[in-house]
Amino acid sequence: EPEVTQTPSHQVTQMGQEVILRCVPISNHLYFYWYRQILGQKVEFLVSFYNNEISEKSEIFDDQFSVERPDGSNFTLKIRSTKLEDSAMYFCASSVGAVRTGELFFGEGSRLTVL
Amino acid sequence: GENVEQHPSTLSVQEGDSAVIKCTYSDSASNYFPWYKQELGKRPQLIIDIRSNVGEKKDQRIAVTLNKTAKHFSLHITETQPEDSAVYFCAAKVRIQGAQKLVFGQGTRLTINP
C-alpha cells in the first residue's frame, strides 16, 4: 500500500539553526500539506501546496517557514531560524484531489526538538 | 474564523460499552467531516468520514452522525475493545479562497477499561 514517507523521524537542533524536513508524498497525489502537533495538543494546519505553489497558509506559517517541491517526488518544509516553540511533531500529508474529494494521507511525522 | 470544538477531552468506558464523541463546527460551508484515530507516537489514521449530503454513516462498530442545521457531528463506537484506546480527532474541511484544508478538534483521549 502506498504511503507518505518522512525524514528524519526525529531531529534535535539548537535554537537559531535551520532545519529541513523532508517528505515524499504518494506518487499520484496532487495536493500536499504540512501540519504540526505540539505534544499533547491538536493537529494544526500549516500550509497547503498545489500546482507548485502555496494555496493557503496559516498564521503560524510566518516568514521563517518555507516549502518547496524541488523535484517530482520530494516536498520539503524549511524553518530558517528555529525557536523553542517550534518543537513539535510535523506531519506531511497528501491527497489525490482537494480534501473534499480525496482522503488525506498522513506521514509518520518528524519530531523536531529545539534546545 | 473557522473553529472545531470537540468534547469530551477525555473519556473512559468499560470494555463492551459504547463511546460517543461530539464535535461542533463554525463554518456553515464545511461539507466534509473525517475522524482520525491517533495512537501514541503515531500518525493520525482516518477511520471514518462523512459528507454533508449524508446524515449517518456506519462501518462495523463505528458510526458517525451529522446534523448540518445544528453544525455538529458525532462519532459512535459500540462494543468497545481495548485496542480502541487512542486519541480521536474530528475535523472539518474549510474552504478559503479556493484552497481547502482540514481544521481539527482538540482531540479526545479514549481509554477502554478491561
Q: Which of A79-93, A98-112, B29-43, B81-95 has the lowest mean pLDDT?
A: A98-112
Put simply, the chain B residues between 16 and 75 with a CB less than 8 A from any chain A CB are 31-32, 34, 36, 42-46, 49, 51
Residues of chain B with pLDDT under 50: none
Of B32, B45, B99, the CB nearest to A48: B99
CB pairs under 8 A between A and B: 57
Q: Which of A7-21, A50-64, B59-73 has the lowest mean pLDDT?
A: A50-64
- φ, ψ (nearest 5 deg) of residue A11: -135, 130
State residue B1's pLDDT score: 62
Q: Count how many residues are written for chain B.
A: 114
3 state SS of B89: strand
DSSP code, position B39:
-
Interface test with B, best of A43, A101, A103, A106 (most B CBs within 10 A): A43
Model confidence at A67, pLDDT cuts 50, 70, 90, reads: very high
Of A42, A91, A100, the CB nearest to B107: A42
3 state SS of B82: helix
Q: Whole-number mean pLDDT of chain A?
A: 91
State residue B98's pLDDT score: 56
Q: Which residues of A touch B100 (CB under 8 A)?
A: 48, 56, 98-100
Q: Is the pLDDT of residue A101 over 70?
A: no
Model confidence at A64, pLDDT cuts 50, 70, 90, reads: very high
Q: Which residues of B touch A45 (CB under 8 A)?
A: 101-104
State residue A1's pLDDT score: 76
State residue A36's pLDDT score: 96
CB A12 within 8 A of CB A115: yes
Q: Give the residue on A whose Cα is nearest the Cα of B40.
A: A40
Of B31, B97, B104, the CB nearest to A100: B31
Per-residue cell: A88:
513539535
Per-residue cell: A32:
500536499
Contact yes or no for A44 and B104 at CB 8 A = yes
What's the rounded Cα separation, in Å, for the pair A38 and A41?
Answer: 5
Contact yes or no for A99 and B107 at CB 8 A = no
Contact yes or no for B100 and A99 at CB 8 A = yes
Count Cβ atoms within 10 A of the Cβ of residue A7 and give its class: 0-12 exposed, 13-18 middle, 19 or more buried: middle
